[in-house]
Amino acid sequence: MTQLTRRHTLKGAAAIGAVTIIGDTLGSTRRAAAATEITAVEWGGDVVNAMKQIEAKQNQVKVNWVLHQGGSGAILPKIKASWPHPEYDYVSGWEGSFNGMVKEDWLVPVSVETVPNLADIPQKIIVKNAKGEWAAVPRAIGGIYCAYRKDTSPVEVKSLDDLFDTRLKGKICWPGPTQAMMLPLVALALHAGGNEHNMDPGWALMKKLAQSGNIGRIGVTDTDFSTSLTSGETSVGFYSEPQLTAVAKSFPVVRLTKQAGMPTFLYQSGFAILKNRPNLTATLAFVNHCISPEMSSLYAQVAGEAPLNVKAKTPEALKHLSFTPEEMNKYVYFPDFNEVLSQQDAWTKRWESEIAPLL
């Protein structure tokens, strides 16, 4: 009979340990070969839910999801702090944040060669850098417009003048100065005879609205808005699509996208792919997967932004963002985004000095 000695026991344990380590390493290598890991910054709520479902439909890339905290611009200081070694492979955003990233030269130019599904996206909407190269990949289109909860609003809002109705005391959730690119303020300017280049009429109307007592909450984050309307704290708002979609899932919401005198703004949401990251090929492949017709339709259904891929299906619930050419001319306003974006700092400071004290 073999005698079990301490030497035998130690040899056996070492052998088992070695087998385990080798096996685990091989397993990790296999797992790593199967899926490349990338880090992506996304919006929370239904948007990241949609993106997770899109991720699950492929197995080449595994995504570490990081959520935006605050407005789209909140991620920019984090990228700057770590530049030229950013921690993210792509950052979801829109015209506002794309512009900042393009100016800092952080973005990888994209093309039909690197992201083939861009061939099915209207080229006019694609953000370009100073060299005229495509700088971001659009995935969907959303709206910024006025809407109200039909079941709790004491007023059937049909015009911006209705916002001053005394029955709406404390019932309006208005976006704060860092939300929605202050386009609701541009809407007030348009209503009062101005525009994004002449904002004084808008500021005058905004002061009047602030003094009216009808603003119950100033939304400083996306969830502020959806929570405020969902909880019944407020009933009327001028905000962007995913938040209004979130409220409309549970409550009847009247969306004033095709109401005369109520301008609707359209924005694109999409992907900004950052330079100096090790997994560029995988990131481009994943982004290409996201804007395919099937995934664009899925995204539209879950996140509530209309697809930009011309081959994708627009859900019935988003028909309010589908415009004929005549409707586009009548209801949709396309501001000079260069002016809007360059004025964000000045408008924010003007809000703090002229509007905030009145609220």
Partner 1 sequence: MPQGRPVKRAYPALLLPGAAVYLGFFFLPLAGLFRESFRQFTPGGVGSAANAPFTLANYSELLTPSFAEFFLETMRISLLASLTGLLFAFPLAYWLARRLSPGWRATAVGFFVTLMFLSVLVRTYALELTLGAAGPLRPILLGVGIFPNGRGYIELLVAGGLLHYIVPMATLTLLATIQNVDPRLFDAAQNLGAPGWKAHLTITLPLCARGLLAAFLFSFTFSISAFVIPMILGKGRVLFISNLIYNRFSEVADYPSGAAISIVLFAVALTIVYVTSRQLHRRSMP
- Give the footprint of partner 1 on this chain (CB under 8 A): 69-71, 73-74, 76-77, 79-80, 99-100, 103-104, 169-170, 176-178, 215-220, 224, 231-234, 341-346, 348-349, 352-354, 356-357, 359
- Report the nearest approach of partner 1 to the CB of residue 90 (Å): 18
| Nearer to partner 1 (CB atom), residue 27 or residue 70 | 70
Nearer to partner 1, 286 or 347 (CB): 347
Q: Output 8 or 103, the one with its CB closest to partner 1.
A: 103
Q: Return the structure tokens found at 347.
A: 């408008």
Helix (H) / strand (E) element for 79: namely: helix 76-82
| Strand (E) or helix (H) holding 37 | strand 36-42
Nearer to partner 1, 57 or 169 (CB): 169
Which region, left, alpha or beta, applies to residue 152 given φ > 0 means left and ψ of -120 to 50 means alpha?
alpha
From the CB of residue 109, how many other CB atoms can be counted at a distance below 10 Å?
A: 15
Residue 144 in tokens? 């910024």
Q: How far is the CB of 53 from partner 1 (least distance, A)?
A: 28
User: Among all chains, which residue has been given the structure tokens 């602030």?
Assistant: 210
How far apart are alpha carbons 288 and 84 in whole angstroms? 25
Residues in Cβ contact with 170 at an 8 Å cutoff, skipping those fewer than 6 apart: 213, 214, 215, 216, 234
Report the nearest approach of partner 1 to the CB of residue 274 (Å).
13
Q: In whole angstroms, how close is the CB of 332 to partner 1 at the nearest point?
A: 25
**Nearest approach, Cβ of residue 35 and partner 1 (Å):** 32
| Cis peptide leading into residue 278 (ω within 30°) | no
- C-beta of 83 vs 333, nearer to partner 1: 83
Q: Minimal distance in Å, beta carbon 98 to partner 1? A: 12
Nearer to partner 1, 99 or 264 (CB): 99
- Helix then strand then coil, in percent of the chain rounded to 5, is 50, 20, 30
